[in-house]
């Protein structure tokens, strides 16, 4: 197996590093941390490590999650493994030797403290190559707007789990669109529908992060 393929496979399996106990059949074996370290030592292009190793692995686990063949813990372990590689690429992003796909601003809207789904979206978008600005939960529309002003050209992701406060997505979307009509706003969360997304003027509703990534790929946004 090629090194990049091995990295992707270890991301899928959630193998962080040599000392991590998960998955049991890979106990004591190298994880994503060691393979990315070795790839960098062998002067493999960091962009290749990102696109053919880490991103590829996250994409495959995301697809499995989307069709119900992988579950939240699988995504969490994959994201942890991906992060062990991504942390080592950080200096290359900072120096410009490796590039991100774009900036994704994400948060759970005002009045809503649920952040498990939002965190999964954050991790998947990191794995898809985006720099993610995570505003956390219970985020006021003004805070989203401030982040959009600070990161021109960013995409925005709004999460909501409560029917009582999901309407705060409307004000947030309107504020963003009034300031910058071209800024794309994606919305998600268990109670949402495509109809709600359309009614508040957001650009895309995705029922899970993989669907958002697939849409961005199809529309060739930030590719
Ligand atoms: C965990 C949980 C909590 C935890 C939250 C912990 C945390 N850090 O998030 C705690 C205990 C704190 C909590 C509190 C409350 N909760 Co609660 N909670 C849940 C629970 C059990 C699971 C939610 C969850 O994490 N799901 C798993 C994640 C992975 O799924 P997800 O969020 O939908 O995200 C996925 C997709 O929707 C999508 N997605 C999500 N966001 C986005 C964004 C974008 C851009 C995209 C593309 C995709 C996307 O991607 C994710 C992965 O596929 C649900 C019930 C249930 N079974 O769903 C109730 C539930 C959401 N809670 C509910 C309620 C009522 C409350 C409380 C008001 C209870 C109370 N009386 O205090 C408070 C709210 C406090 C507040 N202001 O927010 C209700 C909401 C009902 C409604 N119709 O509004 C639910 C449905 C329970 C119920 N059946 O009554 N809750």
- The predicted-structure confidence for 52-103, as pLDDT tens digits, reads as follows 999 999 999 999 999 999 999 999 999 999 999 999 998 998 898 888 999 9
In short, whether 203's Cβ falls inside 6 Å of ligand 1 is no
Q: Give the per-residue pLDDT at 45.
A: 95
End-to-end Cα spacing for the chain: 27
What is the C-alpha to C-alpha distance for residues 223 and 216, in angstroms, rounded to an integer?
Answer: 8
Percent of the chain with pLDDT over 90: 93
In short, whether 57's Cβ falls inside 6 Å of ligand 1 is no
Mean pLDDT of the chain: 95
CA 133 to chain CA centroid, Å, is 10
Contact of 128 with 158, CB cutoff 8 Å: no
Residue range 21-40: mean pLDDT, rounded: 97
Contact of 176 with 144, CB cutoff 8 Å: yes
Q: Give the per-residue pLDDT at 195.
A: 98
In short, whether 197's Cβ falls inside 6 Å of ligand 1 is no
Give this prediction's pTM. Answer: 0.92
**Distance between Cα 168 and ligand 1 center (Å):** 16
Domains in the chain, CATH or no CATH each: 1-98 (1.10.1240.10), 100-223 (3.40.50.280)
In short, whether 163's Cβ falls inside 6 Å of ligand 1 is yes
- The predicted-structure confidence for 169-187, as pLDDT tens digits, reads as follows 999 999 999 999 999 999 9
Confidence of residue 164 (pLDDT cuts 50, 70, 90): very high
**Distance between Cα 3 and ligand 1 center (Å):** 39
Judge whether residue 223 has pLDDT over 70: no
In short, whether 187's Cβ falls inside 6 Å of ligand 1 is yes
Judge whether residue 115 has pLDDT over 90: yes
**Distance between Cα 150 and ligand 1 center (Å):** 29
In short, whether 221's Cβ falls inside 6 Å of ligand 1 is no
Cross-strand bridge partners of residue 139: 109
What is the C-alpha to C-alpha distance for residues 194 and 153, in angstroms, rounded to an integer?
Answer: 24
- The predicted-structure confidence for 148-161, as pLDDT tens digits, reads as follows 999 999 999 999 99
Residue range 30-42: mean pLDDT, rounded: 97
Q: Give the per-residue pLDDT at 118.
A: 96
**Distance between Cα 94 and ligand 1 center (Å):** 35
């Amino acid at each position: 197996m090629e090194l990049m393929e091995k990295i992707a496979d270890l991301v899928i399996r959630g193998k962080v590093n040599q000392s991590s106990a998960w998955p049991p059949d890979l106990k004591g074996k190298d994880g994503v941390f060691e393979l990315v370290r070795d790839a960098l030592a062998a002067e493999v292009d960091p962009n290749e490590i990102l696109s053919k190793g880490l991103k590829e692995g996250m994409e495959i686990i995301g697809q499995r999650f989307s069709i119900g063949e992988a579950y939240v813990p699988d995504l969490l372990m994959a994201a942890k493994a991906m992060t062990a590689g991504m942390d080592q690429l950080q200096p290359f992003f900072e120096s410009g030797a490796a590039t991100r796909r774009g900036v994704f601003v994400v948060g759970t809207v005002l009045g809503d403290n649920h952040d498990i789904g939002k965190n999964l979206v954050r991790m998947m978008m990191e794995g898809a190559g985006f720099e993610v600005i995570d505003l956390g939960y219970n985020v006021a529309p003004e805070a989203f707007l401030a982040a959009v002003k600070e990161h021109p050209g960013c995409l925005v992701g709004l999460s909501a789990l409560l029917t009582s406060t999901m309407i705060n997505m409307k004000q947030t979307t309107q504020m963003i669109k009034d300031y910058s009509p071209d800024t794309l706003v994606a919305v998600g969360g268990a109670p949402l529908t495509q109809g709600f997304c359309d009614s508040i003027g957001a650009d895309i509703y995705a029922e899970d992060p993989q669907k958002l990534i697939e849409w961005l790929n199809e529309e060739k946004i930030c590719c």
